[in-house]
Amino acid sequence: MKKENPWNWIPAVAIVVLLLLFAGYKAVKSDSPRIQTNEQESTKQWVEIARFSGNGDEETDYFTTHNNRFRVNYRFYNSYPGAVFGFFIYPKDDGLYVNQFSLSGSGNDSSFVNTPSGEYYFNVITGPGSEWEIMVEEQR
């Protein structure tokens, strides 16, 4: 008489479990809100919301952001080698800055700022004979 193996059902159950896991993974992945967000952001355009320029140290006027992320494009020129340009981003009603950027020597750069929407201003610090420009953009 041949003995039956009591474990014959394990491979069949394992295959069913794997198929269910795979089907669940595909369903979750296809409904991912992150994918929808990326598609929505790709249709938005960067729009200039403020532009400031000057010579030397200065606190700018306020500008208002409507999103939790904005882009800062900045340009600096100084005829002195090694001249430094820097600026801090402050919220209107708070003494703590939310971000700061700097350049050593003439040039330009762009950076993203992730902070709640609201009113902000720049405190620009640079040496004499400097020309600078800061442009703020957000997606709409």
pLDDT value at 42 more than 90:
no
The pLDDT value given to residue 9:
53
107: left (phi over 0), alpha (psi -120 to 50) or beta: left
**pLDDT tens, 94-138?**
889 999 999 888 899 999 999 999 999 999 999 878 999 999 999
Residue 102 has, within 13 A of its CA and on its CB side, a CA count of 10
pLDDT tens-place string over residues 48-106: 999 999 998 999 999 999 999 999 999 999 888 778 999 999 999 888 999 999 988 88
User: Residue 115: in which H helix or E strand, if any?
Assistant: none
> What 3 state SS string does 31-89 have?
CCHHHHHHHHHHHCCEEEEEEEEECCCEECCCEEECCCEEEEEEEEEECCCCCEEEEEE
Token couple for 50? 């403020």
* Every domain of the chain and the residues it spans: 46-139
Its CATH architecture, for the domain 46-139, is Sandwich (2.60)
